[in-house]
């Protein structure tokens, strides 16, 4: 990597590291669901769209993709609000094997909300696949497939944004604190 954007502190996960791990996750998921019918993957917009796109193309089992969009932190990298559904799934999930695909787990509030909401729709099974989890207290349902654990900093790239910027960087990087504290003041 020759030049890194000056807003970024450092690269945490390179494109190669992510791609290898995504392939491993897809292989594990394919093995685990081999005997089941169709796997219904639920990607959480917008952050998980790149992770999901790479993951599904490595799967070797029949699958369907759908999306949900939730309310986000807006432009703030520091405060969290109540979770709300902005866009729901296209179809009922009753009796289906559901795999929730999330970009990142921080406090666990979002994934807990999703678990509770989707469980109420009576799927046959419900598991989660998360690219990165931040270090810290874990007070949510265990993540079934986890890509990486990262330090508790604001990260961007590989689908993750700050104020709709940096989302399409091919790697995952730590955003400089000065970038988001400047906006908050
Ligand atoms: P939680 O509910 O676990 O605290 O936060 C989950 C959601 O917050 C993620 O789906 C993501 O939208 C957002 N989020 C948390 N940490 C980060 C981060 O470091 N970078 C970005 N871009 N989004 C984050």
Q: State pLDDT tens for residues 26-60.
A: 999 999 999 998 999 999 999 999 999 999 999 99
Tell me, yes or no, whether 177 lies in a domain: yes
Cis peptide before 49 (omega within 30 of 0): no
Ligand 1 centroid vs 79 CA: distance in angstroms? 10
Strand partners, 172: 13
Ligand 1 centroid vs 5 CA: distance in angstroms? 21
Tokens of 116: 């509770």
From 71, 106, 151, mutation site for ligand 1 pocket: most ligand atoms within 8 A of C-beta: 106
From 42, 110, 140, mutation site for ligand 1 pocket: most ligand atoms within 8 A of C-beta: 110
Tell me, yes or no, whether 107 lies in a domain: yes
Domain count, the chain: 1
Q: Catalytic one among 7, 32, 66, 106?
A: 106
**What per-residue confidence (pLDDT) applies to 181?**
86
Q: Is 106 assigned a catalytic role?
A: yes
Tell me, yes or no, whether 172 lies in a domain: yes
Q: What is the DSSP letter of 142?
A: P
**What per-residue confidence (pLDDT) applies to 47?**
95
Strand partners, 45: 69
Residue 158 region, left (φ>0) first, then alpha (ψ -120 to 50), else beta?
left
Tell me, yes or no, whether 1 lies in a domain: no
- Within 6 Å (CB) of ligand 1, which residues are found? 47, 72-73, 80, 102-110, 154-156, 160-162
**What per-residue confidence (pLDDT) applies to 72?**
62
Tell me, yes or no, whether 24 lies in a domain: yes
**What per-residue confidence (pLDDT) applies to 112?**
92
Tell me, yes or no, whether 3 lies in a domain: no
Q: Is the dihedral of CA 13, 19, 20, 26 positive or negative?
A: positive
CATH of the domain at 150: 3.40.50.2020
Tell me, yes or no, whether 2 lies in a domain: no
Is 47 in contact with 159 (CB distance < 8 Å)? yes
Ligand 1 centroid vs 23 CA: distance in angstroms? 23
For the CA of 48, the nearest atom of ligand 1: 10
From 71, 104, 117, 162, mutation site for ligand 1 pocket: most ligand atoms within 8 A of C-beta: 104
The gap from C-alpha 113 to its chain's centroid, in whole angstroms, comes to 14
Residue ranges, the chain, pLDDT below 70: 1-2, 72-81, 137, 139, 183-185
- Which residues constitute the domain of residue 70? 8-182
Tell me, yes or no, whether 145 lies in a domain: yes
Instruction: Determine the Cα–Cα distance for residues 180 and 78; give it in Å rounded to an integer.
Output: 8
Instruction: Determine the Cα–Cα distance for residues 119 and 151; give it in Å rounded to an integer.
Output: 30
């Amino acid at each position: 990597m020759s030049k890194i954007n000056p807003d970024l502190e450092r690269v945490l996960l390179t494109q190669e590291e992510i791609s290898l791990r995504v392939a491993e996750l897809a292989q594990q998921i394919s093995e685990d669901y081999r005997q089941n019918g169709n796997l219904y993957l639920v990607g959480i917009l917008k952050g998980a769209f790149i992770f999901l796109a790479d993951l599904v193309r490595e799967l070797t089992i029949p699958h369907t993709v759908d999306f949900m969009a939730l309310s986000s932190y807006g432009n703030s990298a520091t405060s969290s609000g109540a979770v709300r559904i902005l866009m729901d799934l296209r179809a009922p999930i009753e009796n289906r094997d559901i795999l929730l695909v999330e970009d990142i787990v921080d406090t666990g509030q979002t994934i807990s909300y999703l678990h509770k909401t989707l469980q109420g729709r009576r799927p046959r099974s419900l598991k989660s696949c998360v690219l990165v989890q931040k270090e810290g207290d874990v007070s949510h349902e265990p993540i079934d497939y986890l890509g990486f654990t990262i330090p508790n900093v604001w990260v961007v790239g590989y689908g993750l944004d700050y104020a709709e910027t940096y989302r399409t960087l091919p790697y995952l990087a730590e955003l400089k604190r000065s970038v988001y504290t400047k906006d908050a003041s």
